[in-house]
Amino acid sequence: MTAKNEFQRHAIAAHLAQRLAGPARAISGIQELLLEQVQNHGLVHITPDLERVGAAARQLNSLIDSLIHGKADYPDHAGREIEAKLRHDLRTPLNAIIGYSEMILEEAEELHEHALDEDVRVMLAAAAELLAHVDAIAGLSRASDNEGLWTTDQAEIDAAGLERALGKTERDAFSGRNGRILVVDDIGSNRDLLSRRLLHDGHQIVTAESGLSALTRLAEYEFDLVLLDILMPDMNGIEVLSRLKAEHRWRHIPVIMISGLNEVDAVVRCIEAGADDYLLKPFNPVLLRARINSSLEKKRWRDREHQYLQRIEAEKRRADSLLHAVLPGQIVARLQGGEEIIADRFEEVTILFADIVGFSPIAAKLPASDLIKRLDRMFSMFDALAEKHSVEKIKTIGDAYMAACGLPEPAADHADRIVALGKSMLDSLRLLASGSDSFRVRIGVHTGPVIAGLIGRHRFVYDVWGETVNIASRLESQGVADRMQISEATRRALHASWELEPRCTVELRGVGKMETYLVRH
């Protein structure tokens, strides 16, 4: 192995020690804490997944230790081969940690175990941070070559230059993970120093010199993170934090408290008030960057969760809308209430059938698109009229339209509503009449007992069965074009005064003779 390659390996190991070891140890510590909580709460079914996380964390830490101490089994030559193997070996346990942690998070949310939920999210954030560092390994050798760090004289190898190159590569990898940060501190030099450091890391910075001005900035901009000083004259950091967490629009923004106070009580008060983290002045640059990246990653997780929940809610509204479009509202409510079998008997319901006269010859002459447009216009008009008269559309069957009143909610005036609907349908068709190809319909109406219910699983249909349905259909088929024919049973069920025209007795197949009436225009 050349001196250049030997030094590059040691430089990468040092870089890994600084960037990877801390988050990897944190994952192991959180896993152990979660294991204790799970056992204390009796959540034994979560234990196997947690143990798998622990095994992956041990594998990850072992690999990092071997890299740090120069015991890793990698080729003697540096370059892309090392990068590829490093990324593969580090990603394997990390992917396992993330995968099992996400499964545990889902179970914790279902069980409303908020303590578990928060710790798992911290562990996921640490794993995401590690993944970003692993991605930064790509191009390490290219970065070092491009920076011109190597000279022909091996004794002139520039260790500081290599570390700068590695740091630049890592910052480039993190560039897509930057955010808008509000820095709140009453001391100008502190704001300036912190702002410069964060700008150097690619973040967008807005500053505030007091608690009141911080609240003003929050009202003006959207932020991904707030760095909030505790000791300020007009309104201290904890008061600002309390105001921030009390506002629905701000409470999701992560807050890192910053202070020169190294007191446990101050830390506890901040965490209890809703702070996500606590940093002491003067800042350790590596720790500052790690805490900020972790908080920003947690914010992104929350944002993605919020967006996911919004999509779920939108899809739920869309599904509800579709259900209401094909099923009566009462049936939708019963279905969503958990009823699996919906079937009811109704003793008095009025059924209407409307069918196009001479549909086949018309369909044979019209282009398919024109036919569909005309049917859609007619049936859409019928739907609007059914809604206007508080009648349930049951279905369309080819060129026939079926409606009912008195179900799923009984109605004393069911027959009157149906007759009013039938008259409106005939009147609207007369207004739409245009030439020899105009649709003309027959309408048949009958009143009596029916059974109604929901059938199907993949495509729900609310349907109606019984002799009443059959008779209404036959009254339509033996009716008169542009007229509505009703049965004697429907006539008796009418409450309003309708002009009826007695028709000769009609012989209905399977039913026999029946007195019928035509409703006058």
Residues 122 and 21 in one domain: yes
Give the residue among 314, 304, 312 at the shortest CA–CA distance from 102.
Answer: 304
The residue among 166 and 315 whose pLDDT is bigger is: 315
**Do 498 and 349 belong to one domain?**
yes
Q: Say which CATH number the domain at 53 has.
A: 1.20.120.230
Query: So what's the pLDDT on residue 459?
Result: 65
Whether residue 86 has pLDDT greater than 90: no
Lowest mean pLDDT among 3-17, 21-35, 335-349: 3-17
Least confidently predicted of 22-31, 171-180, 187-196: 171-180
Asked if 357 and 481 sit in the same domain, the reply is yes
Looking at the structure, tell me whether residues 335 and 291 fall in a common domain.
no
> Count of residues for the chain?
521
Name the band, by pLDDT with cuts 50, 70 and 90, for residue 82. low
- Inside any domain, residue 167: no
* Most confident option among 360-374, 410-424, 452-466: 410-424
124 with 221, same domain: the answer is no
Q: In this structure, is residue 185 part of a structural domain?
A: yes
Q: Is residue 241 part of a domain?
A: yes
Residue 70 CA to residue 73 CA, distance in Å, equals: 9
Q: Looking at the structure, tell me whether residues 349 and 491 fall in a common domain.
A: yes
In this structure, of 7-11, 210-214, 221-225, 506-510, the range with the lowest mean pLDDT score is 7-11
Q: Are residues 29 and 104 in the same domain?
A: yes
Residues 60, 109 within the same domain: yes
pLDDT at 3: 52
Identify the band that residue 431 occupies on the pLDDT scale cut at 50, 70 and 90: confident
pLDDT confidence tier of residue 440, bands split at 50, 70 and 90: confident
Question: What pLDDT shows up at residue 515?
Answer: 87
Winning range, highest mean pLDDT, from 160-174, 328-342, 371-385, 494-508: 371-385
If asked whether residues 299 and 185 sit together in one domain, one would say: yes
> What is the pLDDT, as a whole number, of residue 135?
67
Residue 168 lies in a domain: no
Residue 509, pLDDT > 80, answer no
Other residues' Cβ atoms within 10 Å of the Cβ of residue 5: 17
Residues 102 and 188 in one domain: no
> Which domain does 37 fall in, by range?
1-139
Helix-helix angle 285-326:329-336, to 10 degrees: 130
Sign for the pseudo-dihedral over CA of 309, 313, 314, 318: positive
Task: Supply the CATH number for residue 240's domain.
Answer: 3.40.50.2300
Pick from 114, 139, 164: which residue ends a domain? 139
Q: Which residue has the higher pLDDT, 446 or 105?
A: 446
Mean predicted lDDT score pLDDT of the chain? 79
Angle between helices 368-388 and 414-432 (to 10 degrees): 140
Extract the tokens encoding 398: 């080819």
Higher per-residue pLDDT: 519 or 86:
519
| Residue 176: predicted pLDDT | 45
Choose one of 286, 303, 320: the last residue of a domain: 303
Query: Vertex 329, ends 323 and 334: CA angle to 5°?
Result: 85
Does residue 470 lie within any of the structural domains? yes
pLDDT in tens, 137-175: 554 444 444 444 333 343 333 445 544 555 554 555 444
- Structure tokens given for 7: 């030094």
For residue 73, what pLDDT band results from cuts at 50, 70 and 90? low
Which one has a higher pLDDT value, 138 or 279?
Answer: 279
Q: Are 205 and 199 in contact (CB under 8 A)?
A: yes
Tell me how many domains the chain contains.
3
Q: Would you say residue 2 lies in a domain?
A: yes
Identity of the residue numbered 287: L
Query: Has residue 508 got a pLDDT over 70?
Result: yes
| Co-location of 365 and 488 in the same domain | yes
Which of these three, 253, 285, 303, is where a domain ends? 303
**244 in the same domain as 105:** no
pLDDT of res. 136? 63
Give the type of residue at 159: A
Looking up residue 366, the CATH number of its domain turns out to be 3.30.70.1230
What local confidence, expressed as pLDDT, does residue 493 receive?
A: 92
To the nearest whole percent, how much of the chain has pLDDT over 90? Answer: 17
Q: In the predicted model, what is the mean pLDDT of residues 332-344?
A: 77
Q: Please report whether residue 164 resides in a domain.
A: no
The CA–CA distances, whole Å, from 377 to 94, 364, 428, 445, 469 equal 58, 19, 11, 23, 25
Residue 261 phi, psi (nearest 5): -80, 115
